[in-house]
Amino acid sequence: MLEATSDNVEQYKKSWWYNFRSKNTGGLRLTEEGLNFISTTAEIKTYKVDFPKDFGITPQVLVWLDNFIDSPYYISKRYMIVLKERAAFELYLFSGDIKKFGYAKALNKRLNQESTDT
pLDDT of residue 118: 65
Q: Which phi and psi angles does 117 have, rounded to 5°?
A: -75, -25
The tens-digit pLDDT sequence of the chain (118 residues) is 678 888 888 888 888 988 766 666 667 899 999 999 999 998 999 999 999 998 889 998 888 888 888 889 999 999 999 999 999 999 999 988 888 998 898 898 889 988 887 6
- Predicted TM-score of the model (pTM): 0.81
Give the CA distances from residue 19 to residues 16, 28, 40, 107, 110, in Å, rounded to whole numbers and listed in that order: 9, 7, 22, 25, 25
Crossing angle of helices 59-68 and 98-117, rounded to 10°: 60
Q: Which phi and psi angles does 47 have, rounded to 5°?
A: -130, 125
pLDDT of residue 78: 93
Listed in sequence order, the residues at least 6 apart from 33 whose beta carbon sits closer than 8 Å to its beta carbon are 15, 16
